[in-house]
Amino acid sequence: MPAPPHDETGHTWHHSDKYLFMITKYGIEDIIGQKYTNNMPAYKNILSDEEIISVLST
């Protein structure tokens, strides 16, 4: 399943930039501290902070 659009038709628009950055970098399970069925990988060992910000800014 693809990521939702970052506009009024998706669900990411109501999250803060900091939250989106943290979820992208660390993954949802690290943020909530428990297992959570999802397909969102953590990118902390793949993308730099600058690359994550660039992706979220597009």
| Burial of 35 from C-beta contacts in 10 A (0-12 / 13-18 / 19+) | exposed
**Predicted pLDDT of residue 13:** 73
| Burial of 58 from C-beta contacts in 10 A (0-12 / 13-18 / 19+) | exposed
What is the arithmetic mean of pLDDT over 34-55? 92
**Predicted pLDDT of residue 8:** 76
What is the pTM for the complete model shown?
Answer: 0.75
Banded model confidence at residue 2, pLDDT cuts 50, 70, 90: low
Residue 51 pLDDT exceeds 80: yes
Convert 1-57 into a string of H (helix), E (strand) and C (coil): CCCCCCCCCCCHHHCCHHHHHHHHHHCHHHHHCCCCCCCCCCCCCCCCHHHHHHHHH
